[in-house]
Amino acid sequence: MSGLPKVGKQKFIKKMLKDYNIIEEHYKPIILNFDRRDSIEDLISRLHSLGYSKNESLFENTNLIDTPMSTKINICRDLIYELRSCGEMLFILDNQFIFKNNGEASNWFIELIKGIKNKDNEIVFCVTSTTKFINRSKFFNNNEILYLSLNEFNKIDRKNYFERLLNIYDISLSKKDFDDLLDIFSGMPEQIRFSINLLLSKDLTITQCIENVIAYNKNSSQLLISEYENNTLAMQLLKLLSMGEFFSYSLIYTLFEDKQDEVKTT
């Protein structure tokens, strides 16, 4: 699953798995974080360190760096099988470890998935990523991978979620205060939860709450932009879109005529 940071990807997947009785209501999956500096050797090492492997001697006699990639992929797949056979569900939080900035998947990951024997179409493990996976139909059929992209809340979603949390926490707001807060929400669930925590504080006025949410929005935007500061094309697109105008895809492709393929994956 892909989507912006803090948009609720993990919660969405957990709810889906619970709804389909794949995991129990209060089950906590095993979560491993990886970024662009990590490799398949790091994945193997961390899977093994979880303590579910029955083949301890394999790692005592194996130098992963010198091991052929095909063997490493098989080792990784076996470790995931063992984890799943023990009733555990693995969540990989991917920051350009599996899915690169251009939207392509690592070759070893493609081979890992294609080698999984899954007669019942069971979910074996889950990956959440901030990068969209393009051209997936080129590598996988529908029985090999389930891909979802989770977008930020639209205006109706924001209103409904905000109202729901206000009701849960028994918070009363005037229509003006409600609308003022709703107007500064950008669609991130965490942002709305942050505003609820502020409203629960007895020491803050509604004006102070709004000021805090605006400051939170600014900090979140800076963190998001920092992820793309080394990507010149992405920064150019962000500057263009920040002008507040509506731009059609055709106009954007015209402006970046020599980089159309890159634009589609940015």
The answer to whether residues 104 and 65 belong to one domain is: yes
The answer to which of 42-56, 100-114, 228-242 has the lowest mean pLDDT is 228-242
Do both 203 and 246 map to the same domain?
no
CB 152 within 8 A of CB 7: yes
Average pLDDT value for residue range 25-34:
89
Least confident of 165-174, 189-198, 244-253: 244-253
Q: Do residue 111 and residue 61 come from a single domain? A: yes
Looking at mean pLDDT, say which of 28-42, 56-70, 189-203 comes out highest.
28-42
Query: What per-residue confidence (pLDDT) applies to 61?
Result: 57
State whether 166 and 49 are in the same domain.
Answer: no
Rounded-to-integer distance, Cα 106 and Cα 97, Å: 8
Burial 70-109 (b: 16+ CB within 10 A, else e): eebbebbbbbbebbbeeebbbbbbbbbbbbebebbbbebb
pLDDT for 165 equals 92
Whether 48 and 85 map to the same domain: the answer is: yes
130 and 53 belong to one structural domain? yes
In a shared domain, residues 13 and 123: yes
Domain span including residue 58: 2-150
CATH code: domain of residue 195 = 1.10.8
pLDDT computed for residue 133 by the predictor: 74
Domain boundary among 104, 120, 150: 150
Average pLDDT value for residue range 198-218: 83
Residues 17 and 39 in one domain: yes
Record the pTM. 0.62
Per-residue pLDDT, 223:
45
Q: How far apart are the C-alpha atoms of 235 and 256, rounded to whole Å?
A: 13
Token pair recorded at residue 64: 């992963």
| Token output for 86 | 């023990």
Same domain (yes/no): 14, 146: yes
Question: In the prediction, which pLDDT does 108 show?
Answer: 92
Give the DSSP letter of residue 161: H
Q: Are residues 7 and 125 in the same domain?
A: yes
**Closest to 132 measured CA to CA, from 7, 3, 235, 38:** 3
**123 and 26 in a common domain:** yes
> Domain total for the chain?
3
Cα separations (Å) of 8 from 49, 61, 151, 225?
A: 28, 41, 9, 19
Tens-digit pLDDT profile for residues 211-223: 888 887 776 655 4
Task: Report the C-alpha gap between 150 and 130 in whole angstroms.
Answer: 10
Q: What is the pLDDT of residue 188?
A: 80
As a whole number, mean pLDDT of residues 112-116 equals: 85
DSSP string, 200-264: H-TT--HHHHHHHHHHHHHHHHHHHHHTTTT-HHHHHHHHHHTT-----HHHHHHHTGGGHHHHH
Domain-ending residue, one of 110, 125, 150:
150
pLDDT attached to residue 32: 92
The answer to whether residues 144 and 110 touch, using CB atoms and an 8 Å cutoff, is no
Residues 152-157: what's their mean pLDDT? 85
- Looking at residues 93-105, what average pLDDT do you find? 85
- pLDDT, tens digit (0-9, with 9 covering 90-100), for 47-58: 988 888 877 666
Q: Are residues 195 and 211 in the same domain?
A: yes
Question: 150, 184, 199: which is the final residue of a domain?
Answer: 150
CATH of the domain at 46: 3.40.50
pLDDT (tens digit per residue) in 15-26: 878 887 888 888
* Nearest-angstrom CA–CA distance, 26 and 168: 20
Average pLDDT of the chain is 78
